[in-house]
């Protein structure tokens, strides 16, 4: 553990983390991996989370503050409260007051905000007051935004607001990418204007045994051995992929293998029950499991969307994979990532617009011919992003 500087002993925590997941749970998973790495570095961590609780995904750290939860109603990312109603002014004020109370109690040396101001603009009613409060005290914390590899392209007026807000409040942007694979400027050209305040951490990847994972063994064997693993993250979207995969199974060369479908906590219970009733022999349909990484490590082939966390976990384990990027509502992030990684020969791709049982079956057959990759087979990809983020924050906090 790092020795805390004498001047910082009045602080109750080293890093106060803010994360708001809306549609899926990928942002929360990545934050959990970061919190774990920061804790390994000997830092005290408080986390403020504003999404719907995910009981099987503990955030770790020293303290977790749950705001009145909010979520996105659909792919438009329109914000609603936990009841599904548009957020009231009272709801917003309650969240803002709790964030500010937590900040003043924590007195952090560093404030780490996930995605904002390059996303989560709908949360500016609480984040702009937080940032203003952070600038008011006699010992201003270092203020950092935590970004994934790719941003959805905003219109020019929003891009200008993002750059202006970052310049006014933030010290650093840590981009969780390997710049040899993907740079922030490729999806957000305006990032060139703040290049001096951008640092790349490498990709953040959870490992088996990390926070929110387990090593469950079924009947003394390897869980998921030689299965085809179909997963859709949090489950708020992905029903079309599940239906296509179920229909594609008998059309593939892996039709005799066991296929396991993992449906996240946001997948409707009635739809889950319907799929379980229709599942033929050799098909398992269940909720997402905490031992997902063990299942992925042991599977024969992965079928998933192209979200950051799942794709990086697939790459880290060297598994043959087919991805179907989520592209509804003008979302481009997953498609951008999937196309780049396909160009490197690391996975097979079916565009969401082309998704059908036959196209998915053809991609499964193509991917099944690939052998599992070892580290020597994969182009050098930096997957040490969690620990490097901790190092970057420690260096930043040590600066005057």
What does the pLDDT look like over 190-214, one tens digit per residue?
A: 999 999 999 999 999 987 655 555 5
> Going by DSSP bridges, is the β-strand pair 79-81/70-72 parallel, antiparallel, or unpaired?
antiparallel
Integer Cα distance of 59 and 382 in angstroms? 24
Strand partners, 112: 17, 144
In contact, 110 and 14? CB cutoff 8 Å: yes
Position 130 pLDDT exceeds 50: yes
Query: What pLDDT shows up at residue 5?
Result: 44
Looking at 36-40, 134-138, 171-175, 369-373, which range is the least confident one? 369-373
Strand partners, 64: 47
With CA atoms as reference, report the closest residue to 292 among 177, 208, 232.
208
Secondary structure of residue 136 in the 3-state scheme: helix
331 pLDDT tier (thresholds 50, 70, 90): confident
pLDDT (tens digit per residue) in 363-374: 999 999 887 765
Position 311 pLDDT exceeds 60: yes
- Mean pLDDT confidence for 265-273: 90
Integer Cα distance of 373 and 317 in angstroms? 8
223 pLDDT tier (thresholds 50, 70, 90): confident
Q: Is the dihedral angle over the CA atoms 367, 368, 369, 374 positive or is it negative?
A: positive
For the full predicted model, state whether its pTM sits above 0.85: yes
Q: Is the dihedral angle over the CA atoms 100, 105, 111, 113 positive or is it negative?
A: negative
Query: What pLDDT shows up at residue 127?
Result: 98
pLDDT (tens digit per residue) in 66-121: 999 999 877 677 899 999 999 999 999 999 999 999 999 999 999 999 999 999 99
């Amino acid at each position: 553990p790092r020795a805390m500087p004498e001047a910082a002993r009045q602080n109750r925590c080293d890093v106060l983390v803010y994360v708001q997941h809306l549609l899926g749970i990928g942002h929360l998973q990545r934050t959990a991996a970061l919190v774990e790495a920061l804790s390994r570095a000997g830092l005290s961590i408080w986390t403020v989370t504003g999404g719907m609780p995910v009981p099987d995904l503990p955030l770790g750290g020293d303290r977790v503050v749950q705001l009145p939860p909010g979520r996105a109603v659909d792919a438009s990312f329109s914000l609603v409260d936990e009841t599904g109603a548009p957020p009231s002014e009272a709801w917003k004020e309650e969240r803002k007051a709790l964030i500010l109370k937590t900040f003043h109690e924590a007195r952090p040396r560093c404030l780490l905000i996930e995605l904002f101001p390059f996303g989560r603009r709908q949360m500016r009613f609480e984040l702009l007051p937080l940032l203003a409060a952070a600038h008011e005290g006699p010992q201003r914390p270092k203020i950092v935004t935590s970004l994934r590899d790719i941003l959805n392209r905003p219109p020019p007026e929003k891009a200008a607001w993002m750059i202006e807000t970052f310049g006014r409040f933030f010290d650093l942007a840590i981009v969780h990418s390997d710049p040899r694979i993907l740079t922030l400027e490729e999806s957000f050209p305006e990032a060139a204007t703040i290049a001096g305040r951008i640092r790349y951490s490498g990709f953040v990847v959870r490992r088996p045994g990390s926070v929110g994972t387990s090593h469950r063994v079924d009947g003394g064997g390897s869980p998921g051995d030689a299965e085809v693993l179909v997963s859709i993250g949090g489950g708020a979207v992905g029903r079309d992929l599940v239906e296509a995969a179920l229909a594609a199974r008998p059309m593939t060369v892996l039709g005799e293998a066991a296929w396991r479908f993992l449906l996240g906590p946001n997948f409707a219970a009635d739809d889950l029950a319907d799929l379980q009733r229709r599942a033929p022999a050799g098909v398992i349909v269940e909720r997402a499991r905490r031992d997902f990484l063990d299942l992925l490590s042991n599977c024969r082939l992965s079928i998933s969307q192209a979200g950051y966390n799942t794709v990086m976990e697939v790459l880290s384990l060297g598994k043959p994979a087919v991805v179907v990027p989520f592209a509804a509502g003008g979302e481009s992030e997953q498609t951008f990532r999937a196309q780049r990684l396909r160009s490197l020969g690391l996975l097979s791709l079916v565009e969401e617009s082309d998704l059908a049982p036959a196209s998915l079956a053809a991609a499964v057959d193509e991917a099944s011919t690939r052998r599992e990759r070892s580290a020597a087979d994969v182009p050098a990809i930096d997957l040490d992003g969690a620990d490097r983020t901790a190092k970057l924050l420690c260096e930043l906090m040590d600066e005057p």
